[in-house]
Each structure stands twice: as structure tokens, then as C-alpha cells.
Amino acid sequence: MSITTVGIVGAGTMGNGIAQACAVSGIQVVMVDIAQAAVDKGLATIGKSLDRLVGKEKITEADKAIALGRIKGSTNYDDLQAAQLVIEAATENHELKNKILKTLDGLLAPEVIIATNTSSISITQLAAATSRPERFIGMHFFNPVPMMALVELIRGYLTSDATHEAVKALAVRLGKSPITVKNAPGFVVNRILVPMINEAFFVLAEGLATPEDIDAGMRLGCNHPIGPLALADMVGLDVCLAVMEVYLAEFGDSKYRPCPLLREMVAAGQLGRKTGRGVYSYA
């Protein structure tokens, strides 16, 4: 299948990032959200991101104009019917995603592939909300999408080889480096990453080192670009806790128990950058 137009449901951080990556790579985009304000905000974010690339001389003003011209913002799901692939990039909520996927399944032609940008929800379960599980796949992009090279391609139980190959070819066209993953909680990256963050909280709670020294140790000793505690603040401590709770429930293994300090900080509303205070202060 040749994918020339991509539909995206959700104009937030991930949705507009995916839209930008597609448009810069020469693909037509239809980006849909429920409110015009959300669509406008997404388009404005893309414009600012492209402006930064112009400033760094990575692209020209003409390139920016051409890329923006490839993106159609809309509040009408019917506009997605022009796409050969539609990527659901809504909030990480199972019920909401199911509702969107059922709507898309009833609207789109049978041959259209549906993908979800979920970072934690079972691809097989989400595929079951549609009548096309063989043409359903996970495309887990990483934030910020225009900068991050990785895309996890997650195959559900019934995802076909043809669907996987078509979506893999698209990811490569976007300049990404896709890896193929079986369906399991956390897939690959978050399965490793979030427990590491959780362990950093155990180290902090035990008073083995200061937050600054824990982060410096991982940056300098493991060559990580950011320490695990600073990363937790960026991701959101509530998100880290929720993911660990999913792992504990799904695997039934005590090694995934959330650190009590992480629970306490979330209970106190210290969630990281988005609240101005997490492990570090952002006031």
C-alpha cells in the first residue's frame, strides 16, 4: 500500500508532532480534534517548531510554507476519509481511545490502516474495538516527535505482515528508525525505562545520594542525556506511578511495586514540571 495521506486524531503534543514529521517528509496530513481552538493551537505549535528549524538553517522559509501547506486542520472526522492511514493520538485513556477507534472503523474504507500512538494500552485490546484487527497496529512515537528517531511498531495478535510492512516503510520515510515489538505492557522502551525511574526513587528514599548526584551519576556513568529523576519530573510523577501500577497488576511481579516516596509525592500534588514542583523546583 502506498501511503500519501495520513490522518491524525488529536492535535496535542504528540498529534501535532506526528503531523509535522509527516508534512516535512512530503506527506499530506489531515489533523482532527474536537475543538477548533485545539486545532489552531496544534497548527501554531507546528509553525513555531518549523520557525526554530528555519532559525537553525535546517530548512528554508519556503520549506516551512510548503510543509504547512500540506497540513489540513479540521474538527470534522469525515475529512479523514482521504487518508490511507489514520493515527489515533488522543489522551492515554482506554475508554476514550475505544470510542474514537469505533468511530474511525465505521467511517473509514475497509482497506485503511488504523494505528494508535498509545504508550501503554494493549494493542490487541484496542484492535478488538474495530472490525479490522489485521489492519491495526501500534505506532509509539517519542516526544518531541520531530526530534526523536525512534518509533516502536507494536503488533497486535492479529496484525498482518502487510500492515506491519506498510507502516514500517512509512516510519522510514519519516526519517525514523522503527523497531518491531510484540504486544506486552510497556512494550520495550517504557518497560525498561519506567522501572529504572522507580528504582531511582528508591535510591533517593534510602538517602544514598542527593537528587542532583543520582542524576549526575546516570548522566556521566551511563551517558544518559538526562538523569532519571529529572526525566520523571518531565514525564510527570503521576504518569510514572500509573505505569508502574499497570506493570504490577499485569505481571503480578513484586519487582514492579511503585516506590512509596513516588506515591507520597503524587499524593502531595508534586507531579513535576507541570505543577512547578516535583523532585526539583520549577518555580
Q: Are strands 5-9 and 71-74 parallel, antiparallel or unpaired?
A: unpaired
Sign of CA dihedral 85, 97, 138, 233: positive
Secondary structure (DSSP) of 204-241 = HHTTSS-HHHHHHHHHHHH--SS-HHHHHHHH-HHHHH
Residues 138/115, Cβ–Cβ less than 8 Å: yes
152 catalytic? Reply is: yes
Catalytic residue among 49, 88, 152, 198: 152
190 catalytic? Reply is: yes
Catalytic residue among 49, 122, 183, 190: 190
Catalytic residue among 16, 140, 183, 198: 140
Catalytic residue among 16, 49, 117, 119: 119
140 catalytic? Reply is: yes
Residues 6 or more apart whose Cβ sits within 8 Å of residue 138:
115, 116, 117, 118, 123, 126, 152, 153, 154, 155, 156, 181, 183, 187
Q: Which of 216, 210, 186, 89 is nearest to 143 (CA)?
A: 89
Amino acid code (one letter) for 197: I
- Catalytic sites, residue numbers: 119, 140, 152, 190
